[in-house]
């Protein structure tokens, strides 16, 4: 297992995960889609019941489906997260998951070391060098 393979797996896992916004969109779509279909069928029945021809009734029902289409809601969030993690990988930024990408919207400062990497976030002391004639206190 090489470092490159681990990095590729990390990007793949990030693109397969679901962020909170994506889970919310999925929950809303799960309720919204059946309601819209019911409204379209009700529209079809209403138009036919009021004497409109089948063509006009069908057109009105399709108009309800088109106007209320949740495609943008269901597709925009995962697409944006996938593009974000993919573009980050192209730029050398490994994002562990969509929830990490989503949480960066609250960040106003990012501190990098001299090589431009962010590691564990914990500083460690490697050595203490004292001036001549002085000992550690």
User: Domain extents for the chain?
Assistant: 3-106
What 3-state class would DSSP assign to 61?
helix
**Could you give the dihedral angle defined by the CA atoms of residues 119, 14, 17 and 78, in that order, rounded to the nearest 10 degrees?**
120
Judge whether 113 counts as a catalytic residue: yes
Rounded Cα distance, 94 and 78, in Å: 17
The pLDDT tens digits of the residues spanning 85-108 come to 888 888 877 777 777 777 777 778
pLDDT at 54 over 80: yes
Helix (H, G, I), strand (E, B) or coil at 77: helix
Least confident of 29-33, 37-41, 61-65, 75-79: 75-79
- The rounded mean pLDDT for the chain is 78
Q: Is 133 left (phi over 0), alpha (psi -120 to 50) or beta?
A: left
Tokens describing residue 104 = 């960066």
């Amino acid at each position: 297992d090489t470092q490159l393979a681990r990095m590729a797996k990390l990007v793949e896992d990030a693109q397969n995960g679901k962020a909170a916004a994506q889970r919310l969109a999925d929950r809303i779509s799960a309720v919204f889609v059946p309601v819209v279909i019911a409204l379209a069928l009700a529209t079809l029945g209403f138009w036919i019941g009021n004497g409109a021809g089948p063509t006009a009734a069908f057109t009105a029902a399709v108009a309800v489906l088109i106007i209320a289409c949740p495609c943008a809601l269901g597709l925009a969030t995962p697409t944006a997260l996938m593009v974000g993690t993919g573009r980050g990988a192209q730029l050398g930024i490994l994002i562990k998951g969509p929830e990490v990408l989503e949480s960066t919207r609250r960040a106003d400062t990012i501190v990098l070391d001299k090589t431009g990497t962010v590691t564990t976030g914990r500083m460690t002391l490697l050595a203490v060098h004292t001036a001549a004639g002085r000992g550690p206190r």
